[in-house]
Amino acid sequence: RAPPSHSRYFMSGGLWGARRGALPQLMKQINDFPANSDYLTDMLFLNSIIWPIAKDDSLQHDSFSCDVFEGASAFPVARDPQGFHVGQVFDESEKPREVDLSILRSAAQPAACKPTGFVKAGGSTFRLKWNNSQTLHNLTHVCRDLQHKYLVVPGESWGGLPAPLEPRWRELGCDERLRT
C-alpha cells in the first residue's frame, strides 16, 4: 500500500503475488466470481476471496496505514518527493495520473509507516538490511538464527521459514555459509 488510496483495501490489484500451490482453487474461484469490466471488480475479488486465505501468511508493505492493517510493516523505502509510487497509474501516453501524484505529495505519512529497515512476516520481525561494517561472522550468525528458529535444512528444506524470508536467505548465501 504505497499511496493513501491503497489504504482502503487489504489487497490491491496488480500488487500481490503468491507461492506456487498456495491458491490451488484460484481458477475456479475466478470463474465463480460474478465479474464484469467495472472498475474495482478485481479488488472486490481479491479482498473478498483471496485475502481471507492469505491474511495470516502475508508480507504487507504499507506507507500510510501500517498501523491499521494487522501484520503490516512500514514500506521498506522512503517516499519519492515527486509522488512516484508502487502501483502508480499511467495514461495511454505513459504519463502519470497527476491527481494521484498530487494526493500523495500532500498526504502526511504516519511516523509508524516510515521505513525502519525491519519487516514483519510470519508473526516475527526481521531486519531487512545489514550494513557493510558487519562481518562475515555476523552474517553467518544471522543464517544460524534463521536455521534454528525455523528448522531450515540448508540446501534441502525451508522448514518453517516464512516465504518472504527465502530471498533474503539466498541473498545472504545461507546454504553455503552453513554447509561448511
The residue type of 3 is P
Query: Among 41-55, 65-79, 130-144, 149-163, where is mean pLDDT lowest?
Result: 130-144
CA 115 – CA 29 distance, rounded (Å):
35
**Burial class for 104, CB neighbours closer than 10 Å (0-12, 13-18, 19+):** buried
Looking at the predicted structure, is the pLDDT value of residue 131 above 60?
Answer: no
pLDDT at position 137 is 53
Strands 124-127 and 118-121: antiparallel
How far is residue 84's CA from residue 104's CA, in Å, rounded to a whole number?
A: 8
State yes or no: pLDDT of 59 exceeds 70.
Answer: yes
Name the DSSP class of 72.
E
Cα–Cα distance, 106 to 57 (Å, whole number): 33
Cell of 9: 483495501
Q: Is 87:2 a contact under the CB 8 Å cutoff?
A: yes
Q: Flag whether pLDDT at 120 surpasses 90.
A: no
d(CA 112, CA 109): 8
Mean pLDDT of 47-70: 88
- pTM above threshold 0.75: no
